[in-house]
Amino acid sequence: MGTSDTPGTVPDADSDAPGAPDAPGTPDVPGVPDVFDPRIYAAGIPHDRFRALRDHHPVARQEEPGVLGWPAGPGFWAVTRHADVVRVLKDAQGFSSHLGATQIRDPDPADLPFIRRMMLNQDPPHHGRLRRLVSRAFTPRRIDRFAATARERARRLLAAARESGGDEIDFVKAVTDDYALLNLTDLLGVPAADRGLLHTWTERVIAYQDPDEPPVLDAEGRPVNPRSPAMLAEMFDYARELAAHKRAHPADDIMTVLAGTELQDAELEMFFFLLTVAGNDTVRGAAPGGLLALAEHPREQRKLWDGEVGMDTAVDELLRRHPPVLSFRRTATRATELAGVPIAAGDKVVVFHASANHDERAFADPGRLDLARTPNPHVSFGDGPHVCLGAHFARLQLRILYEETRAVLPGLAPAGPPRRLVSNFINGIKSLPLRPAEPSAPRA
Ligand code: HEM
């Protein structure tokens, strides 16, 4: 496992092995590394591949062969440089979220109208109407009111983990999974008894490429798209009932605010789905990813524990090094050119946040974890009209978790390799064994 604080090359801590193993059965376009195969990411961010793409093929053609039971697709353009990623994300007129939605895999054409109802999958000006409505629920003041609850929760989870975990704690199982899920259900206003449901639904959608999550098959034995109406019916029924309950029993939560807006039921259900997925797995990925990076960089960790670097810059640097979202998809609305490469109308264009965050053209020494890094123009929360609506809530949760970890533990050291999600979308960690220990590095 790469554990150095050494400045210099990009592939260090986040990619446990130098470069990711070649995934079986996935033909590279000649000379162009494959960054599509979801299995690659089980070994960490493939920094070597991304660097080769940035340097030699910044807009690279990718094959999309059938993988893990999922059918082949038409292929896409991988955009890997920071400036190009930002350009695509900002240019919603040229690169649509609506035409083919926002996942690499093309949705079943029959499901497309349904999926397009989600705010995430809309373009201006329609997107703006929904965004304005739901932004009212996400005021910083409302979010900040959750700080005390999140802190209490972090304390409780960490204390229980210490008591039962002994020398080695799996932080995902003992702390971060519950922390993210319970914070989100508080914010949404989901009753405690129903929280397990939310967990099941989001796993189904996000972990569908991972072998630990058995696929749901249709009558012909083909995997069913987790974003199809059939798979989501239960969640949508629940959202409708919850909204009705909130209208009758208003509380200080997001569902109460949304239920009181002009959102139609179908829009509200879709929004509940969006928040359930966007607000859960992202923080579930970010929290262990940040703790792992700290454990692997004892010198930086010590600076944080000693108060030599600020928590706010640390949170953003940890998000840069471990972006919870690996990629998002757009569709070109017209013929254009990106980094000198002609793109045809209708082409699938995929931006790789994990690569943009490590672009030498935008970050000095990008492979180095520098908790005081300023400025830090990482794109972990995206950019342009769809920039993350929950960024303030996410940062708040991460800051509190790291503060509480620092308050109760002498430090963190790796106690074994992490297990990572098989996904080209979410940079998830399934288990993270860490030892509470003084950082071994000498004081600078
Ligand atoms: C560290 C945690 C998080 C990360 C890295 C993250 C990342 C992102 C990214 C990259 C996008 C842009 C999608 C695109 O370009 O199409 C996005 C959108 C969004 N995020 Fe987050 N997110 C996080 C946490 C949250 C939380 C906690 C919530 C809510 C509770 C949330 C709600 C949303 C919503 C509603 C959108 C859609 C915005 C729109 O379409 O206008 N996110 N997020």
- Choose which residue among 198, 348, 389 to substitute to test ligand 1 binding: the one with the highest number of ligand atoms within 8 A of its C-beta: 389
Smallest CA-to-CA distance from 242 within 207, 301, 195, 181 is with 195
Instruction: Tell whether 4 is covered by a domain.
Output: no
Instruction: Tell whether 16 is covered by a domain.
Output: no
Distance in angstroms (rounded) separating the CA atoms of residues 94 and 122: 13
Tens of pLDDT along 278-299? 999 899 999 999 999 999 999 9
Number of separate domains in the chain: 1
Q: 285 alpha carbon to ligand 1 midpoint, in Å?
A: 13
Residue 341, amino acid:
V
Instruction: Tell whether 81 is covered by a domain.
Output: yes
Q: Where are the beta strands (DSSP E) in 24-141?
A: 59-62, 76-79, 95-96
Tens of pLDDT along 161-184? 999 867 899 999 999 999 999 999
Give pLDDT, residue 7: 30
Distance in angstroms (rounded) separating the CA atoms of residues 356 and 35: 14
Instruction: Tell whether 240 is covered by a domain.
Output: yes
Task: Pick the atom of ligand 1 nearest to 184's CA.
Answer: 30
Residues 6+ away with beta carbon under 8 Å from 185: 192, 194, 195, 198
Give pLDDT, residue 4: 36
Give pLDDT, residue 13: 39
Task: Pick the atom of ligand 1 nearest to 380's CA.
Answer: 5
Instruction: Tell whether 381 is covered by a domain.
Output: yes
Q: How confident is the model at residue 197 (pLDDT cuts 50, 70, 90)?
A: confident
Mean pLDDT of 21-46: 77
Tens of pLDDT along 67-95? 887 889 999 999 999 999 999 999 999 99
Tens of pLDDT along 381-410? 999 999 999 999 999 999 999 999 999 999
Q: Which domain holds residue 354?
A: 38-436
Give pLDDT, residue 111: 86
Residues lining ligand 1, Cβ inside 6 A: 89, 97, 102, 119-120, 131, 184, 274-275, 278-279, 282-283, 286, 324-325, 328, 380-382, 386, 388-390, 393-394
Task: Pick the atom of ligand 1 nearest to 323's CA.
Answer: 5
What is the DSSP secondary-structure string of 131-148?
A: HHHHHGGG-HHHHHTTHH
430: which 2 tokens? Answer: 């399934």
Instruction: Tell whether 9 is covered by a domain.
Output: no
More confident residue, 43 or 206: 43
Tens of pLDDT along 334-384? 999 999 999 999 999 999 999 999 999 999 999 999 999 999 999 999 999
Statement: the pTM of the whole predicted model exceeds 0.85: yes
Residue 25 pLDDT > 90, yes or no?
no
Residue closest by Cα to atom 21 of ligand 1: 388
Residue closest by Cα to atom 34 of ligand 1: 389
Q: 218 alpha carbon to ligand 1 midpoint, in Å?
A: 30
Contact of 49 with 33, CB cutoff 8 Å: yes
Instruction: Tell whether 43 is covered by a domain.
Output: yes
- Alpha-carbon dihedral sign for residues 396, 399, 405, 408: negative
Instruction: Tell whether 29 is covered by a domain.
Output: no
Q: How many helices (H) and strands (E) does the chain have?
A: 17, 12
- Choose which residue among 136, 190, 282 to substitute to test ligand 1 binding: the one with the highest number of ligand atoms within 8 A of its C-beta: 282
Task: Identify the CATH number of the domain in which residue 117 sits.
Answer: 1.10.630.10
Give pLDDT, residue 91: 98
Tens of pLDDT along 131-172? 999 998 899 988 999 999 999 999 999 999 999 867 899 999
More confident residue, 17 or 330: 330
The residues pairing with 95 across neighbouring beta strands, listed in sequence order, are 332
Residue closest by Cα to atom 6 of ligand 1: 381
Distance in angstroms (rounded) separating the CA atoms of residues 155 and 175: 10
